[in-house]
Amino acid sequence: MSIETFSIFYFLDEDIDSTNQNINFDEGGPELTAVLTPGSYSHEDLADQMKISFDAAGALTYTVTFNRPDQTYTIAATGVFALLITSGSQIGTGPFTLIGFTGADLTGAATYTGNTTAGSKYEPQFLLQSFVDEDDNRQKIDPSVNESSDGIVEVVSFGTRRIYELNIVFATDRDVTKSGQIKNNTTGVADLRAFMQRITDKSPFEFMKNIAARATFDKVILETTPEDSKGTAYKLKEKSLNGGPTGFFDTGLLLMRVIT
């Protein structure tokens, strides 16, 4: 089946490691450094990690919010602080570009919002096909079924996998205005390619079934592709549109596991 709304995915372009883990700031005194723990993060998880790191390094209490509609971060504190975007001693190993803060240092306030988009998004140009909602696709993890002598059956497992199934279709750079159903995107194929390259790294990302309701989302990880049962490979397949022009690509069936 297909889904009845257009969807969208959010993903961060890179992991946090020693090359981008240091956020220099101050609270009116000497320079401080919020050190992010290396790892792969979704947007919301990175907000949580930034709060932990700011709180650990400073004396103020911090709140970090991911603004879902415009894909920016807001960093707020219980007092005035400065983000040392250009003057920090570790600007070469900071994540400011990744989290959407560019330009001069931000000083003299208790709240700052990034001026550019944090990370990337991918908007399928057509409704997702072969769609199965996670509510309808659940699997026990390493289950064991035990039956007692009096016929009582017990299932023991390590939890439940919640799986989305979907196929991204009709990714194209062509002008499809006349189709009336496919969204125009002059970089449609490159955008899909970048998305697939990132999620086959097995990094978490966010899936919003309805692009108009971005506050409702699931954090997911790519489980499998047609090319790899471990979800580390992909192949875009070129198709024609209704037997006409080529230049339309799809991913084949993708399984995406919901993670917490």
In whole angstroms, give the CA distance from residue 3 to residue 207.
13
Beta bridge partners of 205: 220
In whole angstroms, give the CA distance from residue 155 to residue 26.
54
Q: Does the domain at residues 123-258 carry the CATH identifier 1.25.40?
A: no
Say whether pLDDT at 157 is over 90. no
Q: What is the pLDDT of residue 119?
A: 96
In whole angstroms, give the CA distance from residue 194 to residue 245.
24
- 49: tokens are 């990690």
Average pLDDT score over residue span 181-198:
97
Alpha helices (H) in the chain, listed in sequence order = 43-57, 188-199
Backbone angles phi and psi of 230, in degrees to 5: -100, 0
**Residue linked to tokens 């320079």:** 31
In whole angstroms, give the CA distance from residue 203 to residue 43.
11
pLDDT digit string, tens, across residues 126-146: 999 999 999 998 777 655 656
Beta bridge partners of 156: 144
State how far the alpha carbon of 60 is from the alpha carbons of 74, 101, 240, in Å: 16, 21, 58
| 143 vs 184, residue with greater confidence | 184
pLDDT band at 241 (very low <50, low <70, confident <90, very high): confident
The boundaries of every CATH 2.40.30 domain in the chain are 123-258
Coil, strand or helix at 195: helix
Average pLDDT score over residue span 102-110:
97
In whole angstroms, give the CA distance from residue 214 to residue 176.
26
pLDDT digit string, tens, across residues 7-20: 999 999 999 999 99
